[in-house]
Structures are given as C-alpha cells and as structure tokens.
A and B are shown apart, each in its own frame.
Chain A
Amino acid sequence: MAMMSRIFASPAVRRSPALRSLLSGLWLGWQIETNWANPIVFITYFIARPVASLTILVVMYSVIAQDILGTPFFAYVYLGGALYLLAGQIVVGVSWVVIEDREHYRVAKQIYTAPVNSYAYLLGRGIARFAVSVLSVSITIPLGVLVFRLPVTWSAIDFPLLIVSTLLGLIAMAALGVIIGSYTYQITRQAFSVGDTLNGVFYLLTGAVFPIELLPEVLRPLGYLLPSTYWLELARRALIPQPVAFQAISSLNTETLLAILAGMAVVFAVLSVVVFIWSMRLAKERGVLDVETNY
C-alpha cells in the first residue's frame, strides 16, 4: 500500500491517464483476485480447482495408456493443462471484468464518467488475474514433478525462452482478451455464460491437452489463430528441452514460433485498440455502457 502510494504519487504516473488507469486496474484486480481476507476462496479457485482438474486429466490418460507418467506425452498434457489456466485467465478474464464491473459491483457509471483510460484499466485488471494465476501454476507444476514424475528439472529450464515467450504471449493474449471484452460490452443478457463457454472452447482448440493435429481439419485453423497455441508450445519447449512425442505445430522450430507469436502480439494489439474504441462508441450509442440486467 505504501509503495503503491509512492508510485501513484510520482509525477509521471499522475500526468499520464493511461499509466494511472493501468496501475489502478492492476492494484484493484490484485485486491479482488487475492481477497486474502477470505483464503478459502483463494485456495479453492487457484489451488484446489486446478489441482483437481489436472488430477482428473492424469487419471484419464493413465486409464487409456499404461505407464504414461513421466513420458514426454504426459508432460505435454500436464504442462498444457497447468499453463492453460494462465491463458484462460487473461483471454477470458477481461470479459469477466467488464461484466463484473457492470453487473456485480455496478460501478460502470462511476468508472466511465471518470477520466480513466478504460483500455488501460481493463488491461490492468486482466494482467492482475494473470499474475494471480502465476501463483497457482507455481504450485501445480512442482506438484506434477513431485507426485506425477513430471520431467521438469530446474537446471534444464530455458529461462530466456520462457520469459520472452511469456511476455509476447501476454501481450497477444491480453489484446485478444480486450477484443472479447469489447464484444461483452454489447451483450447484456447471458453475458455471464460467455466467459465460461469461450474458456472451454479455447481449451479444446488451442492444443492444451491434446495436439491440435488431432482436431477435425475444419477446426484446426481456429486453433492456429489463437496466440495461446504458440505460447503453450513455446513454454513447454522452455520447460522440457528434450523433444516431446506429439508436438503441436511440431514442424516449426522455436525461432519461427517466436516470430509468429511476436507478429500476433503486434496484430492483436493494434486490432484490440481499434475494436475497443469502436465498441465503446457503439455501447454509448446503444445505451448499454452502464446497463444492469437483473440476473
């Protein structure tokens, strides 16, 4: 709190609405997501739930194929499942923030009449969700190593690759999140189900727990359009340097994947700004910016 006050007090931050809004969004998001006053909620959402779903995954694959623990394919599945939580949090998280602010906290009127850069504010809230999920992943991956013989060793992790790809992935996925969030402004009923639905669909399309090549041919291009597809693959390669049996987009080398992800970051970032501005205007035209449906 004291440190945050000092950051907010700095002239650079005070003078830039975008920085102020980004940091306010980050701060607020962190307060909301961690809600330390109620550790049960935190433990349930960010530890118990991912651990449970990963365990189910492990059990399912063990039934299909014997002696799967410790194999590269198992690593592929486990890491995909664990890391997807991060991707989902930010890609779908911004939508959640739009709905939460408007319908649950009912603060849309207050925020959209204040000199807030709403793009930056939403981004901040989304990144806070991502950051909290990092805590979750830092529990599920060591757990995989200890309990399920996940072949990740600290010394073999390619940290530069992990950091660069995660930064690029974060930009691209956050921008995609804003695009989906922009759409959420326009829907007033059933808005709550959008996030969950998309989260599930993306999970299947992005090659999280099975290679994209196993998807029906018509669906594959959708998977290739998702930045999480490339980020997951890169993050897996960074965590387990030895080749994995079934690589999604396996024919591409790491440099190519990085280039694709960087390109996506640029394209999605530009697109998200355009879509967001357009969507804000449309929402004001339709009178839905501060709409509260009774759910």
Chain B
Amino acid sequence: MTANYAIETYDLKRIYKIRGPKRKDDPAERVALGGVSLQVARGGLFGLLGPNGAGKTTLIKILSTLLLPSSGRALVDGLDVTKDVTEIRRRISMVSGGETSGFGLLTVEENLWMFARFYGLENADAKRRIDEMLEVVGIADRRRTKIADLSTGLRQKMNFIRGFISDPDIIFLDEPTLGLDVTAARDVREFVKRWLRQNPDRTILLTTHYMAEADELCDRLAIIDSGKLLVEDTPAGLKKRVQDEAMFVLKVAPLGKPVEGDRIEDVPGVQRLAVTDHDAHVELTMALTGEDALPGVLAHLSRRGAGLVSLEKREPTLEDVFIQLVGRRLTEAAGVEA
C-alpha cells in the first residue's frame, strides 16, 4: 500500500492527566497537543521547530506508537497509529537525542546486532550496515567496547545509528543533537544529509529547538508552540515573510531607564522587539519597517541615557519568523523590561 503522504495528522489532540497535582488549584490536565493537522510528503526532511514544552516529543511519541492520541487521527505511511501498530513499527524507527541509555553490558556491536534481529534483518545485510554506519560516524574502533564504558557522546552516536540499521522508510529524530558537542552535532547533521541524498525516497521527521539546525537540514518545516502548529513552509519561504522588514541588532550598555510613556516599542517604525540580557551588555533585536526608522530609535536611546556599543543590520532568520509569530524568542534567554 502506498499512501500519498509519509505522515498525516488530523486535528490531533493529546491531553495528559496530571497524577497527584501538588496543590489543590493545580490543573489536573495539560494540553500537550491542541489539535494538530499536518501532512508530510514522502521523501526528504521535515522539521518541527518549537521551544521546550511545545509538544514536539508528544507528537513524535504518538507517531512512533508509544503514546495514544486523546482524539483526532494520525497516519504513518497511510497506517493508523492506533490500529496498525506492528505494521508501522516495521517501517519506522525513532531516535531521541540526549538518549545515553542502553544495555550497558552489551558491546556496541552486540547492541546493534540485537536491534537488527528485532527487525529480522539478514545477517549479511545487518553486518554490512552496522560496519558502514560505525565507520561513517567514526566509532568503528569502539565496536567491541561495552556500552557502559563509552562516553555519553559516543553512546548517543551509537543510539543514533541504531535508528538507521533497519533501513526504515520513515525516521523520527527527536532533537538528535541535544547535548552533543559542536563537532559531534555536525557529524550527526552531515550523516542525516548524506543518508537522505543516498535514499531520496525516505522521510525524516526531525524536531529541534535550534533554528540554525532547522534552517540547515529541513526541506520544509513547521513551527509549533503550545501544542499548536503556527505555519508550515520551506525555510526560505518562511524567511521571506519577514524580508520586507529591516532587522537590526543593537548592543547597548547600559540600557538606561525608560522614560514614562516613551518605550522603544512606541518609536514610529518599530515592528517588534526582543531584549536579551547579557552580562556586559543588553542586546536589542528589532524589526523595523525600514532603515529610515533607525534615527528615531537612536534618538530614543540617547533620551534614556543608553550607551550604544554596536549596531548591525542582518538577514532575517527563522528566529525572526518565530518572534513575529509568537511574540517572543525561541531560545530562552533572560528577558528584561525595555
């Protein structure tokens, strides 16, 4: 059976019951997904970008048959996640980042072998794929090492390739680079890109809260926040939405005191503003209607006694898209009152 889409959801909802709320007036339920409808075409990498708690993992768990939806429908490869569990599991795999788990007393090779058996792979196939993947991510020399003796980074790499040895049609990667150092994270991204180039008919659904990662990897992506999908487009298409604005990053030290009734947001031409407090300076990221709005901003800053450290115009990023949609930054950073 060939479905049109790799993944489809229709008004998918998931509500968690909170067991034993700590206080009387704590809510007894939490809405993790508040009606998500999504179609992911076959082939390529689809990204879900959203902050912590947005519902990304919940969606992945439902699609990978670990969790039942509260209502709505979800299809993977045209199969219903509530009914065709075994058939779906044959075609998918799931890797979640930060996952350093495993049967500690098995070696890397034994562990991968066991999963190859779970999928009923032929010995020759399994051996070839395990060899190849170990080589690609650079842990071939550790194949006889017990998992318990691996560093967490290497354990995460091993778990990552476990997701690929069964040669699945659809792979769910839940924040695959979470907690990895810069080099390892790059290795993982390179691996993903290479694998998709070699297997263009396969689909990867990847979640991340790193916008640069989403920008680099995704063919299409959806932004999710508080259990709702906000937009879905190509990274370029999303950025185009904010391109008619001028993005400026101003570093000031100090920011100075706002004068009553005279806030930066009220300066003519300021569309949006995000404020991040760094140790030595405050960073103002603002979207202006155009460059001609800049003098007004600078005049405001000097009125409140702010010292300008640097000023930079930059290309719009997915972060700007997120700020436009949600009204706050994607990555958590201390916000201060402006």
Contact = CB atoms under 8 A, between A and B. Distances in A.
A106 B67 contact: no
Interface string A168-184: 00000000000000000
Nearest to A284: B68
B117 A113 contact: no
A20 B67 contact: no
B65 A112 contact: yes
Contact of B65 (A5, A14, A113): A113
B123 A5 contact: yes
- Across the A-B interface, give the 9 residue pairs with the lowest CB-CB distance, nearest first: A106-B101, A115-B89, A114-B118, A113-B94, A115-B90, A14-B120, A113-B64, A284-B68, A9-B123
Nearest to B104: A105
Interface residues of B, number: 36
Contacts of B123: 5, 8-9
Contacts of A110: 94, 101, 115, 159, 162
B101 A107 contact: yes
A109 B106 contact: no
A115 B122 contact: no
Contacts of B89: 113-116
Interface string B83-117: 00010011011101001011111100010001101
Nearest to B32: A287
A115 B64 CA distance: 11
A116 B166 CA distance: 13
B194 interface: no
Contacts of A9: 122-123
6 contacts: A28-B106, A31-B105, A37-B105, A110-B101, A115-B119, A287-B67
Interface string A21-42: 1011001100110010100000
Contacts of A23: 117
Interface in B24-78: 61, 64-68
A20 B94 contact: no
A49 interface: no
Given A28-B114, A110-B162, A115 B86 contact: yes
A15 B120 contact: yes
Contacts, number: 89
Given A109-B66, A109-B94, A113-B93, A8 B102 contact: no
A18 B177 CA distance: 34
B241 interface: no
Nearest to B127: A5
B79 to A, nearest CB: 13
Contacts of A31: 103, 105-106, 110
Contacts of B159: 110
Contacts of A284: 65-68
Given A17-B86, A32-B105, A114 B16 contact: no
A68 to B, nearest CB: 42
B122 A24 contact: no
A115 B103 contact: no
A238 interface: no
A25 B288 CA distance: 61
Contacts of B118: 20-21, 24, 111, 114-116
B16 A105 contact: no
A289 interface: yes
B17 interface: yes
A144 B168 CA distance: 55
A180 B291 CA distance: 69
A35 B105 contact: yes
A285 interface: yes
Contacts of A287: 16, 61, 67
Contacts of B65: 112-113, 284
Contacts of A8: 117, 123
B102 A113 contact: no
Nearest to A34: B105
Contacts of B120: 14-15, 17, 20, 115
A233 interface: no
Nearest to A100: B103
Nearest to B166: A114
Of the candidates B17, B89, B92, B118, the one having the most CB atoms from chain A within 10 angstroms of its own CB is B118
A281 to B, nearest CB: 8
A231 B121 CA distance: 39
Contacts of B90: 115
A284 B159 CA distance: 23
